[in-house]
Chains A and B, each alone.
Chain A
Amino acid sequence: MSADKEQATPKYEPAFHREFRAIENGAYASQCMQCGLCAVTCPARELMDYTPRRLFKMIHAGEKEKVMNANTPWLCTSCYLCTVRCPRGIPIVDVMHGLKHELAKKSCKSGVALLSKVFFQSAMKRGRVYEAAMTNSFYMKLGPGSIPDAMKQQDVGLDMIKHKRLPLFPPKKIKGLKDLKKIYEKAAAIQKEAHKDGV
């Protein structure tokens, strides 16, 4: 089953393909030969607006708005199945990371963008992730609208607490926390310099 949605009047921005090539791992998208193997491979295909194949086609065509608003990268779970199967050797999962990073720079208000942000912040706070606090922080930042969704998972949360799967205390701060931050900041600066012409 194809998850591709058609739109009546696509908007084309020819410069988009070039911009996309400049983002981290973006250039790989140009190597796609549209065979469709990733599309039948992906476990999230039925929920995606566009399969990876279709997304790459839209990148070539310059359909910026559709690409930037697609749920495709956000549903990618980094399972790597498409990546080991792609006959062109395209690291599709890396392209998805590059695109998500680019989108997250603009906004991290909800969904996987927000979750990824709170996860990373949790990792950098002590050098190790504290899952319980991370989950709280995620729902706090989502705001009261998220309460019904959170409530639906209450039974799962209670089971986890009952079986001590959510420690009550955070992990200890690592000694090299300052070093870790310096490493991150330097890597982020190198990355920024290398991809300054991105989307």
Chain B
Amino acid sequence: MAYSFYPGCSMEATGKAYLVSFEAVEKALELDAHEIPDWNCCGATVSANYVGDLPQLAIAARNLALAESAGHDVLVGCSSCYLNLAWVNERMKLEPEFAAQINEALGAANMQYNMTLNVRQLIDVLVNDIGLDKIKARTIKPLTGLKVACYSGCQTVRALRRRDFDDVEYPQMMDKVVEALGARAVPFPMAARCCGGSQQFTKVDMIYHCTGKVLESAAQAGADIIVTPCPMCHMNTDVYQKKINKVTGTKYDMPVLFITQLMGVAFDLKPKDLGFSYNIVAPGSKLAAYGVK
């Protein structure tokens, strides 16, 4: 099955490990993903704070208009990008008046979107299109004994404000992927809780508080590592982990991997193709037995 792929700005910068490992896994699973030509920033929810919802969703919709002629489902890795593209798509389908407004805005650039596409999050595609059997079959190095906390994050599962491909509060789909890789998904009540989002520059205490709870919950569950499909969750749990240890007196040593990085390990792909140099908490401490230094 072919997809129109929307990488988004984070995947190309702070979340580069996600893009690199996605491309490696994409090849391994023969996923036929084509980058949307000339895609633009989805605006992230943070833009809506400044310009409000309509303009933010209108710029997100340009991407769907660009992808429509290819006719493939739009595949998104980043949770915030997924939220914006999936929500504008859903809302246009549900509210004709809103759809008319978006199309009027797109019309200013001689574009339009006829709402013929599906927007799909990567986890959804892995479980429901590729299938767990294929993931299991491709697993060359089963991650036996590895305990994983699956951190979906908030926007990944609540993009549509209703049950989507997973539960809005207690997501299970990534657990299934991780178990197909031979690892064990630990019970993790914080799986869909907020990491504090983009408050790093404005109220960093929120990051210490919210991400602190996520790390605590993963540690209590006995997890060796956390996996996530979200660049923002990854940023806060990985990049801020040392800082949280310093500020709150904790001693977490919890590598955080993008789900595609962990898949790559189980698929026995070359570690250098999985972007581990971008990880700040060194993955080697917990993954040495599986060939990651």
| Chain A residues in the interface with B (C-beta under 8 A) | 24-25, 43-44, 46-47, 74-75, 77-81, 83-84, 91, 93-94, 97-98, 100-101, 104, 108, 111-113, 115-117, 119-120, 123, 127-132, 135, 138-139, 152-153, 155-156, 159-160, 163-167, 171, 174-176, 178-180, 182-188, 190-191, 194
Contact = CB atoms under 8 A, between A and B. Distances in A.
Interface residues of B, number: 72
Given A84-B161, A155-B243, A184-B58, A112 B49 contact: yes
Given A79-B197, A113-B49, 13 more contacts: A77-B210, A80-B154, A80-B158, A97-B49, A100-B49, A153-B200, A159-B242, A174-B39, A179-B109, A179-B111, A183-B111, A187-B59, A187-B101
A151 to B, nearest CB: 12
Nearest to B100: A190
Contacts of B125: none
B176 to A, nearest CB: 22
A117 B278 CA distance: 28
A173 to B, nearest CB: 10
A38 to B, nearest CB: 14
Interface in B54-107: 54-55, 57-59, 61-62, 66, 101-102, 104-107
What DSSP secondary structure best describes chain A's contact surface? helix
Interface in B107-147: 107-111
Interface in B220-278: 239-240, 242-243, 246, 277-278
B38 A175 contact: yes
B199 interface: yes
Contacts, number: 232
B59 A180 contact: yes
A145 to B, nearest CB: 14
A130 B41 CA distance: 10
A24 B105 CA distance: 17
15 contacts: A80-B155, A100-B50, A101-B49, A116-B50, A128-B12, A153-B243, A159-B242, A179-B62, A179-B109, A180-B40, A183-B61, A184-B59, A185-B108, A188-B51, A194-B54
B40 A127 contact: yes
A116 to B, nearest CB: 4
A143 B79 CA distance: 32
A154 to B, nearest CB: 11
A79 B55 contact: no
A47 B111 contact: no
Interface stretch (B23-31, B178-186, B201-209): B201-209
A120 B203 contact: no
Nearest to B48: A97
B38 A186 contact: no
A187 B98 CA distance: 11
Contact of A84 (B41, B105, B162, B240): B162
